[in-house]
Structure 1
Amino acid sequence: MLLAYFQLGSAMALVGANVAVAKLLADALPIAMIAGLRCALACAVLWPLARTLEGKVRPQGAALRNLAAQALVGTLLYNAALLMGLRHTTALEAGLVLATLPAVIAAGSALWLRETLPPRQWAAAALAALAMAAITLAGTAAGAGGSLAGNALVFLAVCGEAGYVLLAKRIAGRVPVITASFWMQLFSTLMLLPFCLPVLNSAAALGSPSVAGLLVFHSLTASVLCLLLWYQGLRRAPAGIAGIFTALLPATAALVAVVFLGEYFRPLHALGFVLMLSSIGLATWPGRKGISETEKQLLR
Structure 2
Amino acid sequence: MLAAYAMLTSSMVLVGANVPVAKLLAEDLPIPLIAGLRCALACLVLWPLMRAIEPGPRPGREVMRNLFWQAAFGTALYNAGLLAGLRLTTALEGGLVLATLPTVVALGSALWLRERLSPRAWAAAALAAFGMAAINAVRAGGGGEGSVVGNALIFAGVVGEAVYVLLAKRNAGRVGVITAAFWMQVFSAAQLAPFALGSLPWLAPGAANATNAALLVFHSLTASVLCLLLWYGGLRRAPANIAGVFSAFLPATAAALGVLVLGERFTGVHAVGFAVMLASILLATWPVRGRVP
- Fold-level similarity (TM above 0.5): yes
* Match status 1:210 vs 2:182: no
Aligned to 1:297: none
User: For the structure 1 residues 90 and 84, does the alpha-carbon distance in structure 2 shift closer, same or farther, using more than 3 Å as the test?
Assistant: same
Aligned to 2:147: 147
Checking the alignment, whether the CA contact within 8 Å between 1:89 and 1:151 is kept in structure 2 is yes
Q: Secondary structure at the match of 2:74?
A: helix
Q: TM-score, normalised by structure 2?
A: 0.81
Q: TM-score, normalised by structure 1?
A: 0.79
Deviation (angstroms), 1:170: 2.4
Structure 2 unmatched runs, 5+: none
Checking the alignment, whether the CA contact within 8 Å between 1:36 and 1:193 is kept in structure 2 is yes
Deviation (angstroms), 1:134: 8.1
Aligned ranges 1:284-295 → 2 under 5 Å:
284-288=285-289, 290=290
Query: How many Å separate the matches in 1 of 2:147 and 2:206?
Result: 28
Give the superposed CA RMSD: 3.5
Aligned to 2:265: 264
Deviation (angstroms), 1:209: 1.9
Aligned to 1:33: 33
Aligned to 2:175: 175
Query: How many Å separate the matches in 2 of 1:244 and 1:254?
Result: 18
* Aligned AA (1:104): V
* Aligned AA (1:263): E
Query: How many Å separate the matches in 2 of 1:11 and 1:117?
Result: 27
Deviation (angstroms), 1:172: 2.5
User: For the structure 1 residues 204 and 167, does the alpha-carbon distance in structure 2 shift closer, same or farther, using more than 3 Å as the test?
Assistant: farther
Deviation (angstroms), 1:285: 4.7
Checking the alignment, whether the CA contact within 8 Å between 2:103 and 2:281 is kept in structure 1 is no
Aligned ranges 1:193-272 → 2 under 5 Å:
193-200=193-200, 202=203, 205=206, 207-231=208-232, 237=240, 246-266=247-267, 269=270
User: For the structure 1 residues 108 and 244, does the alpha-carbon distance in structure 2 shift closer, same or farther, using more than 3 Å as the test?
Assistant: farther
Checking the alignment, whether the CA contact within 8 Å between 1:84 and 1:153 is kept in structure 2 is yes
Aligned to 1:70: 70
Query: How many Å separate the matches in 2 of 1:285 and 1:86?
Result: 30
* Aligned AA (1:237): A
* Aligned AA (1:210): T
Q: Percent identity?
A: 65
- Provide the aligned length of Structure 1 versus Structure 2: 288
For residues 97-136 of structure 1, what are the alpha-carbon distances to aligned partners after superposition, in whole Å with 9 as ceiling and x for unaligned?
Answer: 3343332111012222333332233334544566778899
Query: How many Å separate the matches in 1 of 2:258 and 2:151?
Result: 16
* Match status 1:109 vs 2:112: no
User: For the structure 1 residues 60 and 107, does the alpha-carbon distance in structure 2 shift closer, same or farther, using more than 3 Å as the test?
Assistant: same
Deviation (angstroms), 1:88: 1.9
Deviation (angstroms), 1:36: 0.8
For residues 113-167 of structure 1, what are the alpha-carbon distances to aligned partners after superposition, in whole Å with 9 as ceiling and x for unaligned?
Answer: 3333322333345445667788999999994333333232222112111111212
* Aligned AA (2:182): F
Greater Cα offset, 42-51 or 269-278: 269-278
Aligned to 1:296: none
Query: How many Å separate the matches in 1 of 2:278 and 2:155?
Result: 23
* Aligned AA (2:209): S
Aligned ranges 1:58-137 → 2 under 5 Å:
58-127=58-127
User: For the structure 1 residues 76 and 271, does the alpha-carbon distance in structure 2 shift closer, same or farther, using more than 3 Å as the test?
Assistant: same
User: For the structure 1 residues 81 and 37, does the alpha-carbon distance in structure 2 shift closer, same or farther, using more than 3 Å as the test?
Assistant: same
Checking the alignment, whether the CA contact within 8 Å between 2:103 and 2:280 is kept in structure 1 is no
Aligned to 1:189: 189
* Aligned AA (2:50): A
